[in-house]
Amino acid sequence: MIEYSREGILALTRELVRIPSVSHTSGENRAADLIHEMLASEAYFQKNPDFLRVLPVEAGEGGSGLDRRAVLAFVAAGAGSGEAGSEEVRAVSGLATTRTVIFNGHFDVVDTDVYGDLSEIAFDAGECTKRMTERDIPAEAREDLESGNWLFGRGVMDMKAGLALHMAYLCHMARHPEKLGVNLLFLAVPDEEGNSAGMRGALPGLCAFAREYGLDFAAAISGEPAFWTSRSEQPDGQGGDPYRIFFTGTTGKIMPMFFCVGREAHAGYSFDGVNAAALAAQTVCLMDCHPGLIDGTGADTLTPPVCLKMKDLRETYSVTLPERAVTYFNILTVSRSPREILDVCRDVAEKSLAATLERINEAGRRFQQLSGRTSSPVPQWEARVFTVQELMTRARGRSADEFAVQLRGFLAGLPSTMDEREKGIAIVDWLVSLVNIKGPAIIVGFLPPYYPQRLNLRTTEKERRLRAIMEEICGELSSSVGNVKLVECFSGIMDLSFMGFQGDAQDLHSLAENMPGWGTLFSLPMDDLLSLDVPIANMGPSGKDAHKDTERLELDYSLDVAPRMLEKLIARLSEH
């Protein structure tokens, strides 16, 4: 039985941590099974079995081969677990209210390689904490360790303590639903640390459940921890005491790709061709830290685009100019749509081609002077820019059905272990050959993953209400535990990005049409995403050093303060 108490939440956290649910491993399913098993033992869900569901999350795309799943649990406000049978509670008319708060969290964790000889022990939070006394760790982590108020281990704060808190509160309210003014819907998913296949795959099931019971989502609350952040890391650079961060929005992430096609030539006759590596390098020069793509304002200004990879596609040594090369970038957004970013990328591609060809021409003129040649050694190239959508249109030609068969066959031949981004690049490489694109040219498009931005714009009553409640709670925390800050936007990426799309359908279609392998390598449930408009916030435990070997959970706050704040949040959201 899950107990909603300091001891109960801590015990559940330790039990969840013991499962090595590393992303893209069978451990994710073990975690899902445990969560489902523990909730299924509750009398409420035994009497109302339809309120506890396992949702498959990989049916819509190629998947990992693990058949991963999410767990959905629903507690209806106002009806005691022994007062209404499943048929009565199941009817929409039997719900005391349709207003519902989503509790969301992920049960996957990053690997433990950074722990070295403690790699296996990292999943035993008690033993890991003890063994940390023997390790050379940073001074701040050492101070926390010696205080006795911190628990170390993989997943303790990112984010199994948040899952434990939400599960314990959910079960507590399932025993006392008459005290609820809103329904609670708990959704635990895999793969947040990867491509968010869990959340994307769970959306259809979540939305189907909402339609089935006529639910109105008032807010979505993440159990992600309130990360401790030093003021010295903030834009003002003033330094000062560290503080915990709460948020009512999260950033978007998009990955534009530039597939560069040059012209082959012997290295001894380089002016006869165009080096694709030079095109890629020029593109990186123009795109990396592009000031026009810095998004946000004030303290919420996001870092500029960065190049995540640049390479030519030749696998063996050759004294030939590389004909194909690729580069892709990480862009964080709070305001720009995929269409807008694609337009910027197309402009960058045009400038990259122009600058590269001009540099080659200038070198050709110098070579002409030095060699005494009377004619220019550089051909007059016609440079072209294509989008992935334009490339696909060419490839389909007159027979879309035949092309679809060819594409499926090509994808089936790619190694199952191949990275999704590499598969996307391979598709574009195949398409360029299929339609015989000759350079100099650049194809622009997107690679997975994609996260929409989700901001509290104060344009709806739900948004204004949640923001006001979070401001009130953070004010209370400031006067009690101190060291808290409410920000507009979580600077990382997270699953609550998928609680609706703040744009129009054409923006999403622009993304889909320009991402190679859409529907197989990566996809979004478009209609479900567009149907949601749920304000978000975090209300969970507190901790430090996610993904590091010093990942740790702040015990007193997480086990005593966080539950009271969660109760307050739900109580305020219950008010009409």
User: What is the set of domains in the chain, with CATH numbers?
Assistant: 6-250+454-499+534-574 (3.40.630.10), 252-451 (3.30.70.360)
pLDDT at 216: 97
Predicted local distance difference test score (pLDDT) of residue 125: 97
Mean pLDDT of the 181-185 span: 97
Encoding tokens for residue 84?
């209404």
- The pLDDT assigned to 238 comes to 52
pTM of the entire structure?
0.91
Non-local CB neighbours of 189 within 8 Å, separated by 6+ positions: 57, 70, 104, 105, 106, 107, 198, 199, 201, 202, 495
Sign of CA dihedral 538, 541, 546, 547: negative
The average confidence (pLDDT) of the chain is: 92
Work out the average pLDDT over 397-424: 91
Residue-level pLDDT at 64? 60
The two three-digit tokens of residue 129, written as one number: 């904490």
Lowest mean pLDDT among 201-205, 479-483, 542-546: 479-483
pLDDT at 359: 94
- Reported as a pLDDT band with limits 50, 70 and 90, residue 401 is confident
- Give a three-class secondary structure readout of 253-308: EEEEEEEEECECCEHHHHHHCECHHHHHHHHHHHHCCCHHHCCCCHHHCCCCCEEE
Give the mean pLDDT of 20-39. Answer: 96
- Residue 90 burial class via C-beta count within 10 angstroms: exposed 0-12, middle 13-18, buried 19 and up: middle
Looking at the DSSP bridge assignments, the partners of residue 445 are 257
Between 481 and 234, the higher pLDDT residue: 481
> What string of DSSP letters covers 552-575?
EEEHHIIIIIHHHHHHHHHHHHH-
Which of 105, 104, 134 minimizes the C-alpha distance to 217? Answer: 104
**Other C-beta atoms within 10 Å of 333: how many?**
21
pLDDT of residue 493: 85
pLDDT digits (tens, 9 = 90+) for 467-505: 999 999 999 999 999 889 999 998 888 999 999 999 999
Averaged over 536-557, what is the pLDDT? Answer: 96
Residues 239-290: tens digit of each pLDDT: 567 899 999 999 999 999 999 999 999 998 888 899 999 999 999 999 999 9
Cβ–Cβ < 8 Å for 69, 190 = yes
Say if residue 461's pLDDT is above 90. yes
Q: What is the pLDDT of residue 94?
A: 74
pLDDT beyond 90 at 377? no
Number of C-beta neighbours around residue 555 at 10 A: 21
Q: Which residues contact 541 (CB under 8 A, 6 or more apart)?
A: 157, 161, 162, 165, 223, 225, 226, 553, 554, 557, 558, 559, 562
Mean pLDDT for the stretch of residues 460-465: 97
Query: pLDDT per residue over 119-172, tens digit each?
Result: 999 999 999 999 999 999 999 999 999 999 999 999 999 999 999 999 999 999
CA atoms of 186 and 170, how far apart (whole Å): 8
Residue type, 442: I
Q: Which two tokens stand for residue 158?
A: 């990112």
Distance separating alpha carbons of residues 161 and 157, to the nearest angstrom:
6
For residues 293 and 270, what is the distance between their CA atoms, to the nearest angstrom? 34
- What is the pLDDT at residue 239? 54
* Whole-angstrom distance, CA of residue 454 vs CA of residue 250: 5
Would you list the DSSP string of 178-208? Answer: GG-SSEEEEEEES-TTTT-HHHHHHHHHHHH
Q: pLDDT at residue 79 above 70? A: no
Termini Cα distance of the chain: 33
Q: Which residue type does 233 have?
A: E
pLDDT at 470: 97
